[in-house]
Structure formats: C-alpha cells, structure tokens
A and B are shown apart, each in its own frame.
Chain A
Amino acid sequence: MLEVKNLRRSGGKPVSFTLAAGECLAVRGPSGAGKSLLLRALADLDPHEGEVVWKGRARSAMPAPAWRRLVGYLPAEPGWWGDGVGEHFQSWPEALIARLGLPGDAAAWPISRPSTGERLRLALARALAMEPEVLMLDEPTSALDQASVAVVEALVAEKRAQGLAVLWVTHDPAQAARVARRHLLVSADGAELVDATGAGA
C-alpha cells in the first residue's frame, strides 16, 4: 500500500491519501490546480514536505533513484536526451512496443520521427520496462486516437491485475470513471478523495 502523509509544496495545502497495490486512483481537477506538481512531489523531483511510504518502506529512508525505479512517473511531456529512439531504452522492450501498436523497428528511428502520440506510447513502454510497483500517469492518452486509448487502458488494467498501483491524471470524466473507482479531486484548497460510484461524477 502507498501511504501519502501530509505532502505539502510551499504555498500549497497538505495532501494525504492511500493507494492499494493493484488499485487505480484517478486524479482530477482544473488545469493549474497542481495535479502535475503533486505527481512531481511524489516522484521527489521538487523540494517539499511530507512522507511517502510504499509497502512499509519510507521514501526518506531510501536513495531517490531507488525510489524512482519503484514509483515510475510518466510526465505529460516525456523527455528525450539522445538523437535516436533506441538509446533511450536500457533494453528494447519488444513485447510492450508491439502491444502498444508501435512498429518493432522504431528503435532505429531518429527521435524527431515519432509523432506526439507515438512518443507518449514510447515513454509509457520505457516507464513500464523499468517494472515499477507504482505508476503515475499524467494524461497519457491525451494525444491518442480511440483505438490506442483502448490499448493503453487495457495494458494498464492488465498490469494492475499483476499488482501495479496506478495514479492516473485525466481531464476526461468518462476515462476517469472507466479506469478508477476512487477519484482524487485536486484544487487550490487541497485534495479530496471521492468514491466515484457514490459521487455520481
């Protein structure tokens, strides 16, 4: 279980919630409310207060790189540092690439070639190839067509069945309802957990 205890960025309200292994929590709220900043804080990319614990292991007790391999984060704009697609992968995740509908020879592409949607799926494959136990997704399907959205949702559901815990930021209420039972509503006043079945969305 992921326990988030009084996570607070400077100028923000403290946020606390829990997330079980295999569960998906949809993170919703208006643009600029701090959804991405919340995920950045969970990945320990920005200075902040508070503690996060995964399966009894406190984040503060382990080096940040080890924490980030455990708790994967796919930002809305994934970063690429090299000239070729392949050099961004420690080993080319063939099965994941095929599953996400990407061509197998994409490893040899220059990084300028994939479209925005293809890059999001490449970044998802890169994040999943690390085999994290928690995965934080920041609008991973915003640039995808209907068919690809379904593929991504099915893949994440499959990984959840194997125990992956997921935080999924989405602007689409229908998608939030499809992927998660509990929703975290983020606003300037903090964050509120709601049961989607009871809240009526």
Chain B
Amino acid sequence: MSGYIHLGYGDLALSALLVLADAGLSLAFQLGMHRRLLWSALRMVVQLLLMGLVLTTLFTLVSPLLTGVAALAMVAFAGREVAARQDRRLSGWWSYGLGTASMLLAAVLVTVLALTTALKPTPWYDPRYALPLLGMILGNTMTGVSLGLNSLTSGLAQRRTAVEARLLLGYDRYQAAAPVVRQAMRQALLPIVNVMSATGVVSIPGMMTGQILGGVAPAEAVKYQIMILFLIAGGVGLGALAAVFGGAWRLTDARHRLRLDRLR
C-alpha cells in the first residue's frame, strides 16, 4: 500500500470546476440542464459525505443490527428509484413493493453468498465488506429491475391485442405473455452483458480503478473485479426474474385474463 496518494478538499474543488464548466456549456447552448446538473452534483457530494460519515461509524462498531438497518435503507432507496423510473406504474403498493422485494431478494442473497463462500471476512457481516459489496450489486440490480419492469408493463399495454390473441387460442397466462416477458428479461440483462464484454478492453471499472489507485497490485484488483461482475450478473438475473415474473403474475389473474386495469 505504498502508492496511496492522499486527496485534500482543494483537489476536489479543482475537479468541481469541470462540473461548473458543464453548467456553463448548458447555459451557452441553452440546454436547460445547468440547474439539474448543479443540483445533482450537490446531492452527490452531500450524499457521499454523509455515507463516508455513516460508514466510518459502522466500520468501527461492526454491529450486525446497524449493518442490517443500513442495508435495508439502501434497498428502500433503490426501490423508490425503480418506482420513479417507470412509465406505467402498477397500482397501489405494487409499484414500490414489487421492485423493492425483488431487489431485496436478489441483492441480499447474492451478497450473503459472496460473504459466506468467497470472501469470508470475520465476522461474515463485517460492514467493511458487506456494505460496499451490497452497494455495487444493488446499483446494477436496480438498473436491471427497473428496465425489466418498464419493458414488461409497456409491452403488455402496447401489445394487448397480441397477448389476448394468444389467450384466445387457449394459452395460459404465462404462455400468452411469454413474448413480452422474454423481451423484458432481455432488456434487463443487456446492460450487464454489455458491461462484461466491454470491461478490460474499453473501460476499467470504477472499483478496480479505486483499488489500483489505493495501491493494490493490478493482478489482485482484477480478481476482485471479475468476482464482482459475476456477482452483479447473478443479482441482475435473479432480481429481474423476480420482478418480471411477479409483474406478469400481477397483471394477469387466475382466470388467465390480462388485467391492465391494475396499471395506473
């Protein structure tokens, strides 16, 4: 760990100038983005500073309860983000509940799997490993779940006559919705497939960059990165599967009808 270069707040201010340059660009070309740009940059700074504080505390306490609460809070925020990204929402609590439950299932399962089999920190719930791992898996699972759900709901709404034609030919609800479900699963999995094929050729992932900047040998950082990408792929697949099939179940009923009235 010899190559670690300490960053001062002055160094951050220097790179913040680039965001200001973006805002200037927005003003010059009338993109109307400067306010949102600055606001999101400010949010990012405040959120990360808070996270730094919270993580510092959690890392010293190593409490299973507090770590669990932090993990749940992360999933809850991800659920809100998924609901906000939908063009057509499921009615009632389903919009928030389905995405959140799918991510909780997928991200927690995959994180716990990695902690108990591959990484094995002591204790296994050590927040220094558990929370960053969960964060990376959750972030990608969130993208997959929101893309999958969005594709499912708009697909069922737009291709209603096609799905009902299949119902009328005596297919059951899952067979009838299969073309739309397949499309939704593809949409959900595409980003992680693209990331995996471009990683190492076009891009050096953020986590690996961070480890290398932190002084870890590249060969070691690569191994971590490969494992993380496998975990992410597993989380995305599982989360999308739960969300898309849960959505298909909710938008049809036991009499094998398409129930678009359950969309808002």
Contact = CB atoms under 8 A, between A and B. Distances in A.
- Indicate whether A and B interact: yes
Interface of A: 43-47, 63-66, 68-69, 72-73, 75, 77-82, 88, 90, 123, 126-127, 130
A72 B161 CA distance: 15
A90 B169 CA distance: 10
Size class of the B contact interface (CB-based, 8 Å): 20 to 34
Nearest to A123: B165
Nearest to A126: B169
Contacts of B123: none
Contacts of A68: 167-170
Contact of A65 (B162, B256, B258): B256
A79 B256 contact: no
Interface of B: 159-172, 179, 253, 255-259
A81 B172 contact: no
B179 A81 contact: yes
Most central of B162, B169, B255, B256 by chain A CB within 10 Å: B169
Nearest to A47: B257
Contacts of A88: 165
Contacts of A126: 169
B179 A130 contact: no
B255 A64 contact: yes
A122 B259 CA distance: 27
B170 A65 contact: yes
B178 to A, nearest CB: 9
Please name the 9 residue pairs, one residue from A and one from B, whose CB atoms are nearest each other, closest first: A79-B165, A79-B161, A69-B170, A81-B162, A64-B256, A79-B162, A64-B255, A65-B170, A81-B179
